[in-house]
Structure 1
Amino acid sequence: MSNTTPPRAPPTKTRELTTTTIKSPPFAYLHLSTSTTTPGLDALQVRSYCSSASRQFLGTTGAAIPVDVLSVSSGLGGGGDAWVRVPRADLGAFAGAITAFGGLSSDGGVMVMRVKACGDWLGSLVGGDGEERVWGSSS
């Protein structure tokens, strides 16, 4: 009887150092669409609108929701889009506040926002943004 060992497989060149799964991200993201009669939408207007909406809908609790304005783009004839970040636990209340708010009046114009999309992952929202341009309006 001989002691023979089977040949070893050649070592792989890649190694997995660590694997992480994020089950519940700390933030949620919203894509807001604005319609306004005054041109030149900026981050300050978006922040003011969001704080007014959450304060009216949720009171002091709504005023305490931290809102990060990530991006604002203005349309040619007024209006535009905004991307904001809120804590994940406040997403439902914040989206409800934006939806229920009647709008802001300033400089003779009215600004109204609507929630186009919201979710836990910014990448999925950004990817779905161009879908309307490709496939047409879903409504």
Structure 2
Amino acid sequence: MADLGELHDATESTAATAPTTQSSSTTSKRKRKKRVAKPHILSQFTIRDTPWAYVHLQHLNSSNAVVSDLDAVTAHLHLTAALSQFLGLHGAAIPFDILKIEGQDVWIRLPSEDRSALVAAVGGWVSGSGQGWRVKGWSSWNADAMGRKSGQDLFTD
């Protein structure tokens, strides 16, 4: 019985010292923060490497002749010629899809790892008749391919 009494005394002494560390007046003045419920996330993922790149090109013609609208076959031939001149057979083997042709503007889709090779190839290519390409923009997410601006707005009045 003596052991239980000693245990009881120890509990009482601990309880007596706890309120002295914090006064009751300071706890009532503090505002308690409301807990905001966190949203329940069903699924979360990150896309690290995008499979496709979208490139917006403009066909240039240096001749003074009336320029007709570009067709898909001509655009494909010019792009393949630029790629094969820049990278040889490896460049000619780069697959690309022509998504849209509007006047002299062409939107294409290609594997994202080949984007820099295509941009370098078509940016420096000029045909024997003076035709070439201007890269107007590219994007990994948007088929409009306006991820990069050409800077033309700097030179307009």
Q: How does 1:45-124 map to 2 (within 5 A)?
A: 45-74=74-103, 80-103=104-127, 105=129, 110-122=130-142
Larger Rg: 2
* Unmatched tracts of structure 1, length 5 or more: 1-10, 75-79
- 1:124 deviation in Å? 7.1
| 8 Å contact from structure 2 (residues 137, 145) kept in 1 | yes
Identical positions, percent = 32
- 1:86 deviation in Å? 1.3
Which amino acid is the alignment partner of residue 66 of structure 1?
P
Q: 1:123 to 1:82 in 2, by over 3 A?
A: closer
* Equivalent-residue separation in structure 1 for 2:91 and 2:44 (angstroms): 37
* Equivalent-residue separation in structure 2 for 1:49 and 1:59 (angstroms): 14
Residue 5 of structure 1 is matched in structure 2 by none
Q: 1:128 to 1:90 in 2, by over 3 A?
A: closer
| 8 Å contact from structure 1 (residues 49, 104) kept in 2 | no
| 8 Å contact from structure 2 (residues 98, 106) kept in 1 | yes
- Larger RCO (CA under 8 A, 6+ residues apart): 1
Q: 1:101 to 1:34 in 2, by over 3 A?
A: same
Which amino acid is the alignment partner of residue 119 of structure 2?
A
Which amino acid is the alignment partner of residue 84 of structure 1?
I
| 8 Å contact from structure 1 (residues 67, 84) kept in 2 | yes
How many residues align? The count is 116
Residue 41 of structure 1 is matched in structure 2 by 70
* Unmatched tracts of structure 2, length 5 or more: 1-36
| 8 Å contact from structure 1 (residues 104, 112) kept in 2 | no
Q: 1:128 to 1:99 in 2, by over 3 A?
A: closer
* Equivalent-residue separation in structure 2 for 1:123 and 1:100 (angstroms): 23
